Amino acid sequence: MSLFFDAALILLAIVVALKVVTGRDPLTDVIAFIAYGIVLTLVWVRLAAVDVALTEVAVGSGATGLVLLRAAGAAATAKQEARPGRVTKGLAALVSLVVFLLLAAAVLAWPKPQPSLALAVAEHLPATGLGNPITGVLIVFRALDTLLETVVLLLALVGIWALAPDRTGARAWSGTPAPLSGMTPSGAQVLLAQLLLPVGLLVTVYQFWAGANVPAGAFQGGAVLGAMWVLLLLARLAPLPRLEQPGLAVLVLAGPFAFLATGLAGWVWAGGFLDYPEGIEKPVIIVVEAAIVVSIGVTLGLLVLGPAGPQAADRPGADAS
């Protein structure tokens, strides 16, 4: 019975994916993509990976969907490249089919028993004082990846802000982003906000509940925090931020730099880089984690908002470089 359910989910994901790839209308495609993310979320739950499911629904489906909605309006007006001909499509289908068959063969031929690091994590997790194994991997065992992941977010923000139209002033990227509902029919976005707001609330409640039961399991909360902020902006319950505010910069930088500082401090108070001091690992980790949650949340929100738009103070054509 449960296998039947899994098969139905997978089938649904495939149908929706095909719809996204073959559809003709940008807005419909993006909404189908959001549905794809929600189906994947359910599959992750079926794989007993609740942490991943949360990230998928908040970031993979929610935040990504919101960003893509911003592009859907522009895509409708952008010039289209020539649609690919039959030969291209046929070749692409052939390549994809071959890749599928090879991957399927690889999936079915995986070794038994599956090599896994689960036992190694279980063995060393108590030494970290953490209860959630995924947090342990993210913040302790593979902390370098996570530190650099926060830098990736920061870098994406720098890259996006650099796309702001030129204007004379102290900071090239100063000003507020264009309103979220400026580009696409606001009806769809309002509907989405109404649909996602309860989901987001539910997820946040779960985070708190999980935080109580599984120590320091709220790492994925940053994504939900960001999504909630964007929802508030969508519903026009919060004002658009001015990007040059120093306070905003502090929020954005707090996570990566608290993490980096802790890492460097490891040479002083422990055995080396990203090594946590013995005995007080857990409080240190919780402080770092809290900073990361805030920074990831704010950065995700800012990435959705995009670069500063044309400002009311600017005259059109005033972009002298």
Pick the piece of the chain touching another protein (CB under 8 A) from 50-58, 190-198, 208-216, 284-292: 50-58
CB 184 within 8 A of CB 70: yes
> Which residues 148-177 are close enough to bind another protein by CB under 8 A?
148-149, 151-156, 158-163, 165-166, 171-172
Q: Is 317 in the site for another protein (CB under 8 A)?
A: yes
Q: How far is the CB of 231 from another protein (least distance, A)?
A: 16
DSSP 218: -
Size of the site for another protein (CB under 8 A): 138
Angle at 72 between CA 67 and CA 78, to 5 degrees: 125
Q: How far is the CB of 296 from another protein (least distance, A)?
A: 8
Give the number of other Cβ atoms within 10 Å of residue 113's Cβ. 6
> Which residues 246-275 are close enough to bind another protein by CB under 8 A?
246, 249, 252-253, 256-257, 260, 263-264, 266-267, 271-275
For the chain, what is the largest distance between any 2 Cα atoms, rounded to a whole number of angstroms? 67
Q: How far is the CB of 301 from another protein (least distance, A)?
A: 11
What is the C-alpha to C-alpha distance for residues 90 and 84, in angstroms, rounded to an integer? 10
Q: How far is the CB of 143 from another protein (least distance, A)?
A: 6
Interface pick for another protein out of 31, 35, 38, 147 (rule CB under 8 A):
147
Interface pick for another protein out of 175, 221, 297, 307 (rule CB under 8 A):
307
What is the C-alpha to C-alpha distance for residues 51 and 142, in angstroms, rounded to an integer? 17
Q: Is 81 in the site for another protein (CB under 8 A)?
A: yes
Contacting residues for 21 by C-beta, under 8 A, at least 6 apart: none
Quick check: bond before 246 cis, omega within 30?
A: no
Interface pick for another protein out of 28, 42, 75, 277 (rule CB under 8 A):
75
What is the C-alpha to C-alpha distance for residues 145 and 141, in angstroms, rounded to an integer? 9
The per-residue DSSP string of 56-125 comes to IIIIIIIIHHHHHHHHHHHHHHSPPPPPP-HHHHHHHHHHHHHHHHHHHHHHHT--SSPP-SHHHHHHHG
Q: Is 123 in the site for another protein (CB under 8 A)?
A: yes
Q: How far is the CB of 318 from another protein (least distance, A)?
A: 12
> Which residues 185-214 are close enough to bind another protein by CB under 8 A?
none
Minimum CB distance to another protein smaller for 209 or for 267: 267
Question: 215, 216, 238: which is closest to 298 by C-alpha?
Answer: 238
Pick the piece of the chain touching another protein (CB under 8 A) from 92-100, 194-202, 203-211, 229-237: 92-100
Q: How far is the CB of 183 from another protein (least distance, A)?
A: 8
Interface pick for another protein out of 38, 60, 228, 229 (rule CB under 8 A):
60
